[in-house]
């Protein structure tokens, strides 16, 4: 193995950057061949496979940075390894304005599930499949505010419960949005108002994305999520009729939907009847380090589906359908449609993905 001396311009890694992205930037900044630098700071994995893993001490030696500070930014360098289920499985570039201060070309990060907005630059970052659409939120401060509220749910309940609760709430808001105006409350009008800002009428061919639909319902999803996360409200949803009325009144307040709870067949009642007693789901797909040197793949099938939805987009007519069907929600979507099957397979989550 060739050893390199310390690089003259060892810029710092970006937060949550993948190691291959950081090493690629270092190579470009110094006019080095990426594969040469990659081989200098990696070695074959101990199990004898073909995969190479970063040796933290070597990356520390070429950058003059401590292993501790590198591992603070680069999740792959952490020892012990992080729980990869708490990150999105797909690397993404994150906030392009934050990235602008990191020289050396494209920054690729593996963001945790709870990162939807760059609150500093007021940009929407989620879901990762829709990367490339940068959505400014200057006209929609409630979406930036919702990210702060989301972080408070995380502090209180931890990543697994928060992940399930927020995705469930996004799915339910998508289902509510597709119901007619008279089955909805004030939130429905806010969804149309926000949709008209993010996807201005007549521009859907150019501006439509499922990521933007997700942004539209995010404030109400984060308002509902604590009901799905807290054991207090989960029990209220399941116990006596009186408790259920209390739960429904709280849903009505958070959705600004005074008539909420008059029918029993809406998406939140379905959650209360079927899902409230079940443990939180973990993601179907978990980040796979083997793909690190590859660039994120182009998802042409997803793009074609988006184009179909863009053609038909009308914020007041079944607008949530495209959001519900999106892979970002696949974990909770499958449970909502197959509540018993999902539960019976929870014990071996791996086989669940293959069976579905």
Closest approach of Cβ 95 to Zn ion, in Å? 3
Distances (CA, A) of 4 to 54, 161, 246: 15, 45, 66
Nearest to Zn ion of 157, 212 (CB atom): 212
Q: Are residues 222 and 149 in contact, defined by beta-carbon separation less than 8 angstroms?
A: yes
Q: Are residues 353 and 284 in contact, defined by beta-carbon separation less than 8 angstroms?
A: yes
Nearest to Zn ion of 15, 302 (CB atom): 15
Interface residue list for Zn ion (CB under 5 A)? 95, 97-98, 118, 120-121
Helix axes 231-238, 210-229, angle to 10 degrees: 80
Residue nearest to Zn ion (CB): 95
Nearest to Zn ion of 95, 166 (CB atom): 95
Closest approach of Cβ 199 to Zn ion, in Å? 22
CA 72-76-81 angle, to 5 degrees, is: 90
- Start-end of H helices in 179-203: 186-198
* Rounded-to-integer distance, Cα 59 and Cα 46, Å: 18
Nearest to Zn ion of 11, 85 (CB atom): 11
Nearest to Zn ion of 100, 312 (CB atom): 100
Q: Are residues 92 and 296 in contact, defined by beta-carbon separation less than 8 angstroms?
A: yes
Closest approach of Cβ 120 to Zn ion, in Å? 5
- Start-end of H helices in 54-107: 56-63, 67-73, 96-99
* Rounded-to-integer distance, Cα 167 and Cα 225, Å: 8
Nearest to Zn ion of 95, 126 (CB atom): 95
Report residue 147 as tokens.
Answer: 């990210």
Closest approach of Cβ 300 to Zn ion, in Å? 28
Closest approach of Cβ 48 to Zn ion, in Å? 41
Q: Look-up: residue for tokens 């009144």?
A: 249
Closest approach of Cβ 137 to Zn ion, in Å? 11
């Amino acid at each position: 193995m060739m050893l390199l001396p310390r690089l003259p311009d060892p810029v710092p890694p970006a937060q949550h950057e993948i190691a291959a992205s950081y090493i690629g930037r270092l190579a470009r900044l110094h006019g080095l061949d990426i594969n040469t630098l990659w081989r200098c700071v990696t070695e074959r994995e101990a199990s004898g496979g073909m995969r190479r893993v970063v040796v933290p001490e070597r990356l520390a030696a070429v950058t003059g940075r401590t292993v501790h500070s590198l591992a603070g930014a680069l999740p792959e360098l952490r020892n012990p390894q992080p729980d990869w289920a708490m990150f999105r499985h797909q690397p993404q570039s994150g906030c392009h304005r934050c990235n602008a201060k990191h020289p050396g070309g494209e920054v690729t990060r593996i963001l945790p599930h709870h990162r939807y907005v760059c609150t500093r630059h007021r940009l929407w970052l989620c879901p990762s499949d829709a990367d490339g659409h940068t959505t400014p939120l200057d006209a929609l401060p409630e979406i930036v505010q919702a990210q702060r509220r989301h972080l408070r749910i995380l502090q209180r309940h931890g990543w697994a419960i928060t992940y399930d609760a927020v995705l469930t709430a996004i799915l339910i808001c998508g289902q509510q949005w597709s119901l007619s105006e008279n089955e909805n409350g004030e939130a429905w009008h806010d969804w149309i108002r926000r949709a008209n800002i993010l996807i201005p009428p007549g521009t859907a061919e150019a501006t439509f994305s499922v990521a933007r639909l997700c942004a539209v319902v995010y404030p109400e999803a984060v308002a509902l999520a604590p009901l799905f996360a807290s054991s207090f409200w989960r029990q209220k949803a399941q116990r006596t009729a009186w408790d259920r009325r209390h739960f429904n009144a709280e849903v009505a307040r958070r959705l600004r939907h005074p008539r909420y709870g008059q029918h029993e067949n809406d998406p939140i009642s379905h959650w209360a009847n079927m899902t409230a007693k079940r443990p939180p789901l973990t993601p179907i797909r978990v980040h796979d380090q083997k793909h690190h040197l590859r660039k994120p793949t182009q998802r042409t099938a997803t793009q074609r589906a988006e184009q179909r939805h863009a053609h038909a987009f009308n914020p007041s007519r079944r607008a949530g359908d495209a959001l519900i069907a999106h892979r970002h929600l696949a974990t909770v979507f499958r449970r909502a449609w197959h509540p018993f099957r999902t539960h019976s397979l929870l014990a071996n989550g791996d086989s669940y993905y293959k069976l579905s």
